[in-house]
Structure 1
Amino acid sequence: MSVTTTSRMRHLLTYAAFVAPAVLFFTMVILVPFMRAILFSFQDWNGISSDIRWAGWSNYTKMMSDTGFLKSFSFTIKYVLATTILLNVVGLLLALVLNLALKTRDFLRTAFFLPYVIGPVIIGFIWQFIITRLFSEVGKATGWVLFQKNWLSLPDYAFWSLIIVTIWHSAGYFMVIYLAALQGVPKDMLEAAEMDGAGRLKRFWHVVLPLIRPAMTINLFLAISSGFKGFDLNFALTKGGPFGTTESLAYHIYLDAFTKNLFTYASAKAVLFFLVLASITLVQVAVMKRREVEM
């Protein structure tokens, strides 16, 4: 065996030694359960008994008349739209402000990012206490009717409670991504635009915004995917209430699988959920990437 072949084999073995654990972990934790979920979606099983029957497409056809599933799907779409828009708008505004030469900008960056470090379940329980206990005290002290209501017992208020807590929790993370993009904008281009007579708004619209488009692509992807997969805050803050009006799709599937023992039916919903999320994500990334090239 030549020296070149021996060296090549050594490189391949070294590469395999480093890559194999990650591939094995991905296969066992993600790929195998995903393939099993697809198989389960065509079966009839409660997750406990040894009697597993073949159901064909019945689990999928049953979803079309499942009002609970359709209701949670509608809520999830509204939740994703609201959080995607607000997270990107608030994150960008915070980044624009903290990109200025403020004396307290380092402290403010830390303060806005800090909520994201805390777990969503803990955040949900903290805000549940704030909304149910502290808001009523504020309402008594100020006389404001808005704070005298129990937000989590009213459908519209419960929805916006979830939105507000989500923005408070995650806006700092989006701010950091936008801030990194803003700091990469060449100053000479901004100075040239200013010398040509472009005001702040025109400089932002025609110079800054096109250059931070990759950050927008990343943040839109993160907002959409995290919005569809939202479970922790939904579980800790509202538990799908009142009357199932704030039941996200992920939480709905969890309830079907682990509280109603509709294991295979929940698997079918999960597979359909994956296909919808993957399709939306692929379209969104393709459109944003095309616009980046056009810019």
Structure 2
Amino acid sequence: MNSQSKLQETEYVPLEQELKREPSINTKKRKNLKNVGLFALFVGPALLAFCVIVLIPFFTGIYYSFTDWNGVNGTINWVGLDNFKYLFTEDKQFQQSFWVTTKYTVVAIILTNVVGFVLAILVTQMLKTRNILRTVFFMPNLIGGLLLGFVWQFIFVKGFASIGQITGISLFELPWLGDAKTAFWGIVIVSVWQGAGYIMLIYTAALQNVPQELIEAAKIDGASRWQILRHITIPMVAPAVTVCLFLTISWSFKVFDVNLSLTNGGPFKSTEMLALNIYTEAFVNNRYGLGEAKALIFFIVVAAITIIQVTYTKKKEVES
């Protein structure tokens, strides 16, 4: 009798435990399914849109870069690396656009960041009008590139000519959009004027997080404003520098709307940037395959430069 009761006990306890565990397992499965469902509900549409708008066109574009498709009819012939050979050996306009874009990018990055940083220092001072100044400096960024280009085209052609006639200052009498050198600087002026306000906001947020105790201690120790800026302020805003450099590199390489509306690549295609050159090749000259080959080279170059920049500046952040 004792042995039977012991056997029943030993058999009954595990079964009871399993019955108790079973609802918890089902509950976990339900929670997991619920989490998967919520994830699919919120992330699914965005992921689908990203695939349709970005990934699928990206990979089809890579395919078309190895073809001679004109973008209109259904005849697509595989040409291999012929498009890329043509770009590096015969297409002089592509090479010139690449050089102009590189030169513009270097100048625009430096000026936009310097102007944005100076404006950020200005609006973080104890000025009564600092909020108004922030609004005024940021407003050009709210204007679309095409509209901005047409407005500045009127300023360069009509406004500067009128000021030059009244004042006699030679700077305003220059053919700003009629000469290759001045047209290039016209694009730079408009781009810096538009982008500096956005960069200013990022630097402003970073400057406001600099501990004032460090600055006060440096002043007590006799440090000058330049020494404080060089050894305290700039190292403390290094993460903002990384972000601003990344943004300005991306903006400068991809400049299109200002280039199109301000000069349309002129005079004589001397200011035609890469984005405008790709657009013209694909949609004006109806050589879509060749335009995709240019776009692929453009993507590789910009991706490589931005990766190198972010890696280098991140290391500098750690060192500082």
Amino acid in the other structure paired with 1:41: S
2:18 is the counterpart of 1:18: no
Query: Normalised by the size of structure 1, how large is the TM-score?
Result: 0.99
Q: Does 1:63 align with 2:104?
A: no
Report the number of matched residues: 295
- Determine the C-alpha separation between the residues in 2 that align with 1:6 and 1:219: 45
How far is the alpha carbon of 1:195 from its aligned partner?
Answer: 2.0
In 2, Cα distance between equivalents of 1:288 and 1:125 = 36
- Residue 27 of structure 2 corresponds to 3
For 1:91-130, list aligned pairs within 5 A: 91-130=116-155
Cα separation, 2, equivalents of 1:50 and 1:218: 43
Partner of 1:282: 307
Aligned to 1:254: 279
Name which one, 1 or 2, has greater alpha-carbon Rg: 2
TM norm structure 2: 0.91
Equivalent residue number for residue 31 of structure 1? 55
Which of 53, 72, 76 matches 2:101? 76
| CA displacement, residues 73-97 of structure 1 (integer Å, 9 cap, x when unaligned) | 0000011000000000000001111
- Aligned-pair CA distance for 1:209: 0.6
The separation in 2 between residues aligned to 1:292 and 1:61, in whole angstroms, is 41
Alignment match, 1:154 = 179
> How far apart, CA to CA, are the structure 2 residues paired with 1:35 and 1:240?
29
Aligned twin of 1:167: 192
* Residue 218 (structure 1) aligns with: 243
Deviations 1:107-129, CA, capped at 9 Å, x for gaps: 01100000101111110000000
Counterpart CA distance in 1 for 2:204 and 2:174 is 37
How far is 1:145 from its partner?
A: 2.2
Q: What SS does the corresponding residue of 2:112 show, helix, strand or coil?
A: helix
Alpha-carbon deviation of 1:203?
A: 1.0
Report the CA distance between 1:149 and its aligned residue. 2.6
What secondary structure does 1:152 align onto? Answer: coil
Measure the CA separation in 1 of the matches of 2:118 and 2:159: 28
Amino acid in the other structure paired with 2:316: R
Q: Which amino acid aligns with 1:228?
A: F
CA distance in 2, matches of 1:16, 1:96: 45
CA distance in 2, matches of 1:7, 1:146: 71
SS of the residue 2:125 aligns to: coil
The one-letter code matched in structure 2 to 1:52 is: I
2:292 aligned residue (267, 272, 286):
267
Distance in 2 between the 1:214 and 1:96 partners?
Answer: 16
Residue of structure 2 in register with 1:190 after alignment = 215
Matches of 1:93 and 1:149, distance apart in 2: 28
Deviations 1:143-189 (A, max 9, x none): 12221232101000000000011111111111110000000001111
| Structure 2: distance between partners of 1:107 and 1:145 | 33
State the distance in 2 between where 1:204 and 1:130 align.
36
> For residues 292 and 145 of structure 1, what CA distance do their matches in structure 2 show?
45
Out of 69, 73, 83, which is 1:45 matched to?
69
2-structure distance, mates of 1:170, 1:45 = 37
Using the alignment, how far apart are the partners of 1:152 and 1:164 within structure 2?
12
Distance in 1 (CA, whole Å) between partners of 2:50 and 2:126 is 44
How many Å separate the matches in 2 of 1:181 and 1:168? 21
Distance in 2 (CA, whole Å) between partners of 1:213 and 1:114 is 26
| Match among 160, 164, 170 for residue 135 of structure 1 | 160
Q: What secondary structure, in the 3-state scheme, does the structure 2 residue paired with 1:233 have?
A: helix
Q: Distance in 2 between matches of 1:136 and 1:49?
A: 47
Unaligned ranges ≥5, structure 2: 1-24
Runs (4+) of structure 1 exceeding 4 A deviation are: none
One of 97, 109, 115 as aligned partner of 1:90: 115
Task: Give the whole-Å Cα distance in 2 for the aligned partners of 1:48 and 1:167.
Answer: 38
Distance 1:106 1:112 in 2: 10
What is the Cα deviation at residue 254 of structure 1? 0.1
